Amino acid sequence: MYGLIGKIKSVEGKRDELIGILTASTGEMPGCLSYVVARDPDDAEAVWITEVWESQAAHRASLQIPEVKAAIAAGMALIDSFDVHISTEPVGGHGLKPAKS
Amino acid sequence: MYGLIGKIKSVEGKRDELIGILTASTGEMPGCLSYVVARDPDDAEAVWITEVWESQAAHRASLQIPEVKAAIAAGMALIDSFDVHISTEPVGGHGLKPAKS
């Protein structure tokens, strides 16, 4: 499995709009086992995204899905900075959905 | 919802054993929507844990479950340090299991 932990800061006042885009586009991504979008309670512009994918290849492939490309294009205008970007190797746990293929 | 993103460092050489404890004890926690344990590919002792709970109260209550208390006791001997501990407010995404009650 392949994981990502990221922190993005929105343009001031645009966090909710950015979250709306991030959560709207995550329904049906092949190989996506978990994709959680969260507010940072201590930073009005910060968004945490934690992801689990079947493989790094599945994550890369998702970036070519038309809906995802459109979401990235729309989201970029609302993003001020990428503050944290950590790759992980998930090994197990609870709540990982069976992958859609 | 209530989220946690944590990074723990194991005692040298004890990461796999620590991960075994962390993943064995997470099956049936009321109010737990996601609990993912991951290796850090760049740090042989580091473990990332990302969690989503129905509420902070559900997370607190889980710490009193006998199996969880036993896992914490067993795990503490294998932990060198708690490096990251971030609370979040998950708002949505994909792969959040319905909570068991």
Closest CA to A99 of A64, A72, A70, A59: A59
Pick A5's closest partner by Cβ from B50, B89, B95. B50
- Asked if A23's CB is within 8 angstroms of B91's CB, the reply is yes
B81 inside 8 A of chain A by CB: no
pLDDT recorded at residue B27: 64
List, as ranges, residues 60-79 from A with C-beta within 8 Å of B.
Answer: none
Mean pLDDT for back-to-back runs of 10 residues, chain A (101 residues) = 98 97 80 94 97 96 91 94 96 74 48
User: What ipTM describes this predicted complex?
Assistant: 0.90
State what percent of residues in chain B have pLDDT above 90.
75
DSSP sequence for A27-58: S--TTEEEEEEEE-TT-TTEEEEEEEES-HHH
pLDDT recorded at residue A99: 56
Q: How confident is the model over B31-41, as a mean pLDDT?
A: 95
Q: What is the chain B residue with the closest CA to A53?
A: B95
Instruction: Report whether pLDDT(B24) > 60.
Output: yes
Partners of A89 on chain B (C-beta within 8 Å) are 38-41
pLDDT recorded at residue A41: 97
Instruction: Report whether pLDDT(B51) > 90.
Output: yes
Q: What is the chain B residue with the closest CA to A90?
A: B38
Domains of chain A: 2-88 (3.30.70.100)
Nearest C-alpha of chain A: how many angstroms from B22?
8
Instruction: Report whether pLDDT(B55) > 90.
Output: yes
pLDDT recorded at residue A67: 87
Q: Which residues, at least 6 apart from B96, have a Cβ–Cβ distance to it below 8 Å?
A: A34, A36, A95, B1, B33, B34, B52, B90
pLDDT recorded at residue B91: 95
| Pick among B36, B42, B54, B62 to test the A interface (most A CBs inside 10 A) | B36
Mean pLDDT of the residues in chain B: 91
pLDDT recorded at residue A93: 84
pTM: 0.92
